[in-house]
Amino acid sequence: MPTRKSTPGRGHRARASARNRVHHVTTVTPASLSDLAYDDGAPEVIDDLAALQLVNPTVKDYANFARNLPCLVQIAERAFFYANQNRRFFELAVATPSEVIAADVASVHANVLLHNAAVIAVAVIPALRPSDRHARRQVGHAFLERVDDDDSVVRKDVRTAFGLDEGDAANLSADALAFAAARARTIADHGLGQLHRLEHRAALRSFLSQPADLDALDRTIQRHQRAVENIAVALEAAELSPEDCQVLEAARAGATLQYWVAVARFALSHDHQDRGLSYLLHGPIAPTAQLYSAIEIADEIGRSSRKMIREHASQ
């Protein structure tokens, strides 16, 4: 009796189909803030400027920081993310009872502060890569859309801080292409760090409830200033090897940048009243025009944010 060949038939196809079948899980899109599935287990919220700050850095730490600057594409994405979360809040608030809105408004305030920190970090950190230059311009253009047309001083600061008038057409195009590639890699690699959605209400409230320690920031600023001065003295020493000079030059750049990160945090602190920035902007470490404008913007949006939070807290 002839042996019957085994051929892929319906059973084989059925098993393959079962293996390849995608099981769709139905998700409900929230229609109001009341529909959000809150997650009280989200990790601590840390803003971008705080994340950049080195703790008790050594000369080597400063040098490594200057040589490994953070990716502005990632920071810009976080800035846009937090702005989008607040847009999402107001869209959901339309169909939300007022008492629920009042309970969740702290998330809006926290998102504003997180957005502000990311925006200023993009302005303060040097944009050395083409993708970072484009990311900085994107954030600057988005910021400029919120500035009144008749506020020429702030508009000029924004253009300077975010390099909106730099580069010719060819460079702008090359930067945009590099940004598109870097952004795609960032999203594919999940390189945005921990992002906090409206659903992370408890973590956002905790972040908002922790006022900046201005005395600690003052001490941090002074520590970085002394480091810049000490490194400058060390660079004048005789018989330094080329390698030592390179490390010290990088360390001086890193300490200077840490100084301005701390100044930016001071400027943005949402609870300070009359402690001005003029002594910092006209102090021993002179800012570039770009940095000067960035700190001026930080002070402006910091005061605006503090006023908004105080007004809502008093209601």
What pLDDT score was predicted for residue 308?
Answer: 85
Q: Can you give the C-alpha Rg of the chain in angstroms?
A: 25
User: Would you state the pLDDT for residue 183?
Assistant: 75
The Cβ of residue 233 has, within 10 Å, a number of other Cβ atoms equal to 8
| Amino acid found at 204 | L
The rounded distance, in Å, linking the Cα atoms of 191 and 114 is 17
Question: What is the distance, to the nearest Å, from the Cα of residue 103 to the centroid of all Cα atoms in its chain?
Answer: 26
CB 46 within 8 A of CB 255: no
CA distances from 174 to 129, 151, 171, 224 (A): 11, 31, 5, 36
Q: What is the DSSP letter of 209?
A: T
- Is-contact 99 131, C-beta < 8 A? no
Comparing CA positions, the residue from 45, 47, 46, 54 lying closest to residue 260 is: 54
**Given this model, what pLDDT does residue 18 score?**
43
Amino acid at 73: V
| CA 104 from centre of chain | 22
The whole-number mean pLDDT for each consecutive block of 10 residues of the chain, a chain of 315 residues, reads 44 45 55 89 91 95 96 93 94 91 92 96 95 94 88 92 85 78 68 78 93 90 96 88 94 97 89 63 90 94 86 68
Q: What is the predicted pLDDT for the residue at 219?
A: 93
Contact in structure between 255 and 287 (CB atoms under 8 Å)? no
Give Cα separations from 71 to 53, 135, 180, 193, 215 (angstroms): 15, 9, 14, 12, 29
Angle between helices 98-124 and 289-313 (to 10 degrees): 170
- Name the packing angle between helices 130-144 and 72-93 (round to 10°): 30
* Backbone CA torsion sign across 116, 118, 121, 126: negative
Give the pTM.
Answer: 0.85
